[in-house]
Amino acid sequence: MISPRALHTARTALWITCGWIGAAVLVHWIVRRVPTHLAREFTATATGAVIGLGSAWFELRLIPRHVRALTVGGLLLVRTFFYVTLCAVVIHVVTMSMLGLSEHGGLLAYYTSEQYRDFVLGGRFLVALAVLTLVSFLINFVRQLNRMLGPGTLVSLLLGRYHRPVAEERIFMFLDLNDSTAIAAALGPFRFNDFKNDFFHDIAEPILETRGQIYQYVGDEAVVTWTTERGLRQGNCLRCVFLVTERIHERRQRYLGRYGIVPEFSFVLGNPPDPEGDVHSTLEFIRKVKRVNSASAASSSNIKMCRSFFTENHELYYVFAV
């Protein structure tokens, strides 16, 4: 059975690849000087697919491992260099080989043709490279904006769904970093800020993977929300916690090496009728439960659960300590 995480990764990779296929076909129509035919359309599609798969590997596997170590400017330079290099290599290797095979009878035949010299020296190669590099910026800009706003929010903004407010039932999770006062005293304000930022960065991907949105940060707590439909689908709101725990466990040695401490957390999960008004009282409720609940001493490799009533508004919450 395919895991939800694998499905999420495959869906994102497919979206990126389809975007690149569309871009490659567009570039083909822009730079062509002879009438197009099916073989050339197929070549453009294959070029886009190869660039798309390389882009998906870069964005989904390589960048997440090193993004915290790079500044915004450094990440921009790395991305620019990667995409310019990737597009140039794929055009010369995949595109030219397939054109040589379909039009000149051999994989290497196109490189010795007049068409190849005209493509490279006539400026069309630079035009194609510039357009594909621009497309890479647009694709990553949309992905980053979608990550910042939350899944589906960008589409809702473009469609004007927020012009008229409507009542919406949502699931909220109030996630609280354990022992933050003691950790801050041990690390000092600057290192604690880095520690907290690393923690929030690490939990962001599991939240997005389960179609959640980070509503706001309150000190060392994060408020996460799902629409009821998204939160209950495949148990996303609960699955998020296991993915966060798994992510922290994967980075355990990194936390120990940098700070000597592995973050632990508690959270409340429910659907309050007034989340904006309840947020501060809910976070205070988390602290009360942690003081009286022995599960708060559990290690990050185990999840223990108790049930408690949130008596201020008579809503039932599930309270966890991880």
| Of 177, 173, 178, the residue nearest 215 (C-alpha) | 173
Question: Any idea what the CATH number is for the domain that residue 236 is in?
Answer: 3.30.70.1230
pLDDT at 287: 55
Contact 11, 56 (CB under 8 A): no
Give domain status of residue 203, yes or no.
yes
Tell me if residue 69 falls in helix, strand or coil. helix
Tell me, yes or no, whether 117 and 190 share the same domain. no
Q: Could you tell me if 229 and 240 are in contact, meaning their C-beta atoms sit under 8 angstroms apart?
A: no
The residues, ordered by sequence, that sit 6+ positions from 128 with a Cβ below 8 Å of its Cβ are 27, 30, 31, 87, 91
Is 42 part of a structural domain of the chain? yes
- Whether residues 143 and 207 share a domain: the answer is no
Query: 234 with 141, same domain?
Result: no
Domain annotation covers residue 272: yes
At 289 the pLDDT is: 53
| 34 & 130 share domain | yes
The model carries a pTM of 0.60
Report the number of distinct structural domains present in the chain: 2
Choose one of 149, 184, 216: the last residue of a domain: 149
Evaluate whether residue 160 is within a structural domain.
no
Q: Do 317 and 243 share a domain, yes or no?
A: yes
Residue 302 maps to a domain: yes
Point out the residues of the chain with pLDDT beneath 70: 1-5, 33-36, 66-70, 72-73, 147-152, 162, 165, 271-322
Exposure string for 94-115, b = 16+ CB within 10 A, e = fewer: bbbbbbbbebbeeeebbbeeeb
pLDDT at 302: 38
Give the domain range for residue 127: 4-149
Identify which of 121, 116, 235 has the alpha carbon closest to the alpha carbon of residue 173.
235
Last residue of a domain, one of 93, 116, 149: 149
- Asked whether residue 115 falls in the same domain as residue 197, the answer is no
Residues 264 and 144 in one domain: no
